Each structure stands twice: as structure tokens, then as C-alpha cells.
Amino acid sequence: VKEMFLGNDTVEIKDGRMFIDGYDAIEIAEKFGTPLYVMSEEQIKINYNRYVEAFKRYEEEAGKEFIVAYAYKANANLAITRLLAKLGCGADVVSGGELYIAKLSGVPSEKIVFNGNCKTKEEIIMGIEAKIRAFNVDSISELILINETAKELGETANVAFRINPNVDPKTHPKISTGLKKNKFGLDVESGLALKAIKMALEMEYVNVVGVHCHIGSQLTDISPFVEETKKVMEFVVKLKEEGIEIEDVNLGGGLGIPYYKDKEIPTQKDLADAIINTMLQYQDKVEMPNLILEPGRSLVATAGYLLTKVHHIKETPVTKWVMVDAGMNDMMRPAMYEAYHHIINCKVKDEKEVVSVAGGLCESSDVFGRDRELDKVEVGDILAIFDVGAYGISMANNYNARGRPRMVLTSKKGVFLIRERETYADLIAKDIVPPHLL
């Protein structure tokens, strides 16, 4: 029997066991230890190519460039960023750290954009020195700092403007960004965005290149993207009327992935059709811009699995608890957003049962799944938590003095360790005991 999982093209159940990129998950877990992140190189390639294929039409019909700038916040492991850079993918960075990784990964400067609402002077210097494609400016205060910093360096900085379009992305409130009440972007309706751009045009050390927008993450409905594209293009038309021409439109990230395996959601192709058709409606009014997208989740989430071992099983009057060695410090999404992640037992059993899967941290929210039907779980079994390739390791921490887990990459060339487990010594490496306490 070959069971398939929505979004996870490189996983299969064969001979009663789970395989990732053709490798037996249980064997990988035994070899590298648990908890263990597994990233599928093949799945990342598939996801990236889906964007390239779907948006080819834009390059053909608009005659302009299309750039995928991978949102490093999703997973900035060097092997992953290097893989994407080698495929030709750009980078969306939000910190000096991410810019450092993008450069180290060999991403060309014209494919790097810098986001964030509180860029420091140090980060602005790094961006200017790296000659990035654009800073996505989030405030007038930031614009002034970029201009001053560029002046000091004797350079010109490329700036795009993040607008706040007031569009409801219909996703989890904690990952909505394009509503008036959110902290991000320059408001369009009140004229703030236009004011900032006009200010920039008067400045000597900045070069106005584009308009940027990002309305939220894990969008499972295409209509907010259409609304966003319209608002951005209407703003571009408005700029043209003011005599201002821009080269780039950046529509951010946000395409969701099928966390629930029984519910299809829009694909890269659906997204491309909606965005391209909307953009092309403005062809008579303005010259078509280059198109940039900043996907994070939809490139890497479905490539990642967290393998974790069952250490204890406990039955309470209401719940059968399965205690595993991964915890909310390794993968925060369920605790932080009540996010659903599919879980399976890597070994198929004849019997199924309903259990709740919990980590070992001293927090009641440290639960990966409640009341899930799994193949009968026994101590020693390996469970796989799906779709953790994005916002998994990147949000992991050391709470409860737990070292962050190892990570491996499965590929046609073999299974490679791409991140070492943190040791006890790593946990205290940055702590300093003052002399009087020695």
C-alpha cells in the first residue's frame, strides 16, 4: 500500500515503514539519534521549481524579471540556504545575521532584499556595503537613517517602500501583517506611503526602486493576494500619475501549505495565475515592473520532519499520553499558535488508537497533538511530526536547558548531517559568573 500525504511528495509508506527521499525514517533516527530534524532536498527542489514554472508566464508576458527571494526566517540553516542559492533563488533577510548567511551562501547582491521594521544602523551599513537590491523601508525614520548612513559611506542605497494596504489575509491573528492595526508598513490611505516616497526622491543618497507589501503568512485563500496585488498596482498607478516610476513590485510571502492532510489548498500555480492576471490588468496604465516574491514556508515547510522517540506512555482518566523526546523548545508552532502538524508512527501497526503526543518540558502547552489517531504506539517507537521545515529549527530555543536538535538532509547523494546537536557545554558557553561568585 502506498499512502500519500498532501504536500509531502517525497515521503512514502512502504513495507509498513515511513521513507523520506527513499530512506527509512526509523533507520535515520537510529543512526543520528532523536529528536532529529530531517530535511528533504528533493522536496525543496520541487517546491522551488513550482514557483519558477508557475511564474515563467510573467517573464514572458510582462517582459520583466521574476525573482524568488527565499524568506530566511523560515529556516536559515546553511545547507538549506546554500541549496536554494545554487538553484538560483534570492534571499529575503530581516537581520544582519540573515544577511551574513545569505552572503556566505553565495546569493548575488541583486537578489537580496532586506525587510524588518527596526533595522539598526549597523545592519543598514551591512546592507549598503553588500549592495543589496533593496531595503524594504518600513518608516520615514528608517528612510532618514538609510540616507544619512549612505552619505557617510559615500554610497547610494536602493530603497523600496513597504506599504500597509489594509487587507485581511484571513489567517491566524499572530501571523497577519497587512491590516491597519499591525505595526508593519506605511499606510497608503492616509498618504503616508506617498509622502515617504516623495521625501526619498528629494534625498541624495537613496535610489527609489520599488514598492513592497506582505499581508501575512499561511494564507489558504487566494483572494487576499488578489486584493493585495490590486492595492499595490493601484498605488503604482498613483505614483505614475505623480511622475514617479518604479522598477520592482515585491508582493512578499504568505502562500500556505496543507498542514491538514485531508484539505487541499491553493498551489504555486493558483497563486501565479491570480497574481499575474491581476498585474496584467494594469498593463495599459503603467509599465510592468519586475516581480519579486518572498516565500518562506511554501519553499521549505513540507520538506521537514521532526523524528522523535517515545519514552513513556501514561493513561489518565481522560487521555492516553505519549511522551516524546522532542519538545516545544525544538518546535514551537503548536504551543505558540495552536498550529496543527500531522503526526504518524513511522512503523505501521495492525491496530490504531487515539493518543495525545506531548514533549517533556514543564509547560502544559508543550503538546504536539491532541487526540490523534495513530498506529498503536509503544515505548521506543519513532513518531514523525510533519511540515516542520519552516519555522521549526529557526524558532527553536534552549528553554529548560535543552540543546537544540541535530538536523540531516536527505538527498539523492545520501543522508548528511547539516546541523550538530547542541551540547551541555554549548548551553552555558555564553554565561559568565562574576568573580565574587566563583
Residues within the interface to ligand LLP (CB under 6 A): 71, 74, 92, 115, 175, 177, 214, 217-218, 252-254, 294-298, 333, 337, 390-391
**Taking the alpha carbons of 130, 133, 138, 141 in that order, is the dihedral positive or negative?**
positive
Burial class (CB in 10 A: 0-12, 13-18, 19+), 52: middle
Residues 290, 338: Cα–Cα separation, whole Å: 37
Strands (E), 343-425: 343-345, 352-358, 367-375, 382-386, 406-411, 414-419
- DSSP code of residue 105: T
Cβ nearer to ligand LLP, comparing 246 with 396: 396
Listed as own residue / partner, the contacts of 63-66 with beta carbons closer than 8 Å and 24 or more positions apart are: 63/288, 64/288, 64/289, 64/290, 64/291, 65/290, 65/291, 66/290, 66/291, 66/292, 66/293
What's the closest the beta carbon of residue 43 comes to ligand LLP, in angstroms? 16
Q: Which is nearer to ligand LLP, 297 or 419 (CB)?
A: 297
89 is catalytic: no
| Residue with Cβ nearer ligand LLP (292 or 409) | 292
Contacts of residue 373, Cβ cutoff 8 Å, sequence gap at least 6: 352, 353, 354
CA atoms of 338 and 271, how far apart (whole Å): 26
User: For ligand LLP, which is the closer residue by CB, 224 or 295?
Assistant: 295
Contacts of 241 (CB under 8 A, 6+ apart): none
**Alpha-carbon gap, residue 62 to 78, rounded angstroms:** 34
Rounded to the nearest whole angstrom, what is the least distance from the CB of residue 312 to ligand LLP in the complex?
Answer: 28
| Nearest position to ligand LLP, beta carbon | 253
What kind and span of H or E run contains 304?
strand 304-315
CB of 74 to ligand LLP, least distance (A): 5
Question: Among 89, 213, 346, 362, which one carries the catalytic annotation?
Answer: 362
CA distances from 189 to 166, 281, 324 (A): 9, 22, 50
Q: List 187's β-bridge partners, or say none.
A: 164
Q: Name which of 103 and 214 has its Cβ closer to ligand LLP.
A: 214
d(Cα 202, Cα 28) in Å, to the nearest integer? 59
On the CB side of 434, CA atoms within 13 Å amount to 1
Q: State CA 388 to chain mean position distance.
A: 11
> Of the two residues 172 and 349, which places its CB atom closer to ligand LLP in the complex?
172
Minimum distance between the CB of residue 213 and ligand LLP, rounded to whole angstroms? 9
Provide, rounded to whole angstroms, the least separation between the CB of residue 210 and ligand LLP: 13
Cβ–Cβ < 8 Å for 229, 279 = yes
Query: Closest approach of Cβ 24 to ligand LLP, in Å?
Result: 29
Strand 66-71 vs strand 290-293: parallel, antiparallel, or unpaired? parallel
The CB density around residue 47, as the number of other CB atoms within 10 Å, is 24
Residues recorded for the chain: 438
Please tell me the number of Cα atoms within 13 Å of 134 on its side-chain side: 24
The helix (run of H) or strand (run of E) holding residue 19 is: strand 17-20
Per DSSP, the three-state class of 256 is coil
Q: Write down the least CB distance from residue 61 to ligand LLP, Å.
A: 24
Nearest distance from C-beta of residue 437 to ligand LLP, angstroms:
37
- Write down the H helix ranges in 316-358: 333-337
Residues 46/16/409/372 CA torsion (nearest 10 deg): 80
Residue whose CB is less far from ligand LLP, 176 or 278: 176
Closer residue to ligand LLP in complex, CB, 256/289: 256
**Please, what is the minimum distance in Å from the beta carbon of residue 265 to ligand LLP?**
13
- Which three three-digit cell numbers place residue 61? 508576458
Cβ proximity to ligand LLP, 118 vs 201, nearer residue: 118
**Residues that are catalytic:** 362
